[in-house]
Amino acid sequence: MREFQNALETAGFEVRCQIIWAKNTFAWGFGRYKFQHEPIFYAHAAGQKDAWYGDESQSTLWQEKKPAANRMHPTAKPVELVERALLNSSKSGDLVVDLFGGSGSTLIACERRGRKARLMEIDPKYADVIVRRWQEFTGKQAVLEDGRPFNELEQERVGAAA
């Protein structure tokens, strides 16, 4: 965790606190003690005032149920977990950036709460998961920069893999 906090600070962020997501299930692993939590850093641009829209009774212990087993992504986060952070730290219409897109929970939370989202995901397989999840949630068709629908690209990939 210290390495992640150091990276945030080196990148120009001020870490205000660490929130603990207490999960309802264990994380997979071989350790003697099984992790049943994940840390979340609350940070903002150094030298700037943090945006705060939540009430003053917020705790650093968040208890949201982990999504049921998910074949699309092994570490999917509950949309409600992301929504809680969004409501505390952004307004409708604000831009939210998630550099670890994962299963797309941030994108769905932004859709539900009227925020603009920009996600990055290093693994193309999970980038596709994010797009499919967004399409399923919104009922809209994602369109690539060249104007083709995402589903066309997906069909090409399946054909190339066969």
Query: pTM for this one?
Result: 0.86
The SS3 assignment for 116 reads: strand
- Region(s) of the chain under CATH 3.40.50.150: 66-162
Q: Is the pLDDT of residue 68 over 80?
A: no
pLDDT digits (tens, 9 = 90+) for 4-36: 999 999 999 999 999 999 998 887 778 899 989
From 32, 84, 34, 79, select the one nearest 61 (Cα to Cα): 84
Residues in the chain, overall count: 162
Structure tokens at 137: 């949630």
Does residue 81 register a pLDDT over 80?
A: yes
Model confidence over 114-156: pLDDT tens digits?
999 999 999 999 999 999 999 999 999 999 999 999 998 878 8
Radius of gyration of the chain (CA): 18
66-162 has which CATH code?
A: 3.40.50.150
Side-chain half-sphere CA neighbours of 125 within 13 A: 4
